[in-house]
Structure formats: structure tokens, C-alpha cells
Amino acid sequence: MKIQVEKDEKGFLPDGRHSVEITDIEEGVSEHQNVPFFAARMENEDGFVTQRFYNSPAGKPIILSLYAAAGIKPEGEQDLDTKQLIGKTLSVEVSDHTYADPATGQERSIRQATGFRAS
């Protein structure tokens, strides 16, 4: 099997704090609990990280901190649009996160972005 790789394909960002731009947003529903989410691709010249944000009561403070770091403030009862995030820059902390897979119980690790700050 041949796997085509584009010349400028980036790898994952290394551990640490990075200034990134949000370049893409994908929306979906979680596989196990049917919770709506959006996944933001954040990148710079060193690489990228994709982070899911779940639209749930527990996820709302994290989503609001992402928007605040990107310079977007909610106004009254107005809904936030995920497409507003594209092109915004911010600072994130990148690291691995280990958790038990709910389907199998096995330990899994994912690359994640946390600690959102204005850049």
C-alpha cells in the first residue's frame, strides 16, 4: 500500500506552550454518549493539535475559555458560532492525556490542547 504524503504535511506539536492559529473546525457527535462537539485544528509552523470541545454543562466553561482566549466575548443571550474561531490566534499548552476507553476499558493516550490564553 502506498500512502501519499504532501510535502508540507505537519506533525503533532511537541509538549509545551505554543502560539497557534485555529485553521479548521469540524462538528460532530460523540461516539459513546451522543454529545455534540466541535473539533478545532490549531497549528503553527512547528505542527498542529486537534482538540474536541463538548457542548455539555461540563464542557461549557472550557468552551468559554477558548472563546475568551481567542478574543471573542458572548453578548447577552446571543449564540456563539464555531466558525467565528477560524483564523483566531491564541496560546495553548500541548501535552498527552491518558484515559480509559469507555468501550474497551483499555488505556489510551491522546494529544490535547489546554490552558487557553490570549497570545
The total number of residues shown for the chain amounts to: 119
User: What pLDDT was estimated at residue 6?
Assistant: 64
User: What pLDDT was estimated at residue 7?
Assistant: 54
Instruction: Dump pLDDT digits (tens) for 99-117.
Output: 888 778 899 999 999 999 9
User: What pLDDT was estimated at residue 37?
Assistant: 97
Task: Outline where 17-111 has alpha helix (H).
Answer: 60-69
CATH of 16-73+82-117, one of 1.20.1250, 2.40.50, 1.10.1400, 2.60.40: 2.40.50
- What number of other Cβ atoms are within 10 A of residue 37's Cβ? 18
Buried b (16+ CB within 10 A) or exposed e, 2-33: eeeeeeeeeeebeeeebebbbeebeeeeeeee
Task: Map out the domains of the chain as residue ranges.
Answer: 16-73+82-117
Grid cell listed for 83: 466558525
User: What pLDDT was estimated at residue 75?
Assistant: 80
Instruction: Dump pLDDT digits (tens) for 49-101.
Output: 999 999 999 999 999 999 999 999 988 778 899 999 999 999 999 999 998 88
Nearest to 50 by CA among 112, 117, 116, 115: 112
User: What pLDDT was estimated at residue 104?
Assistant: 85
User: What pLDDT was estimated at residue 5?
Assistant: 66
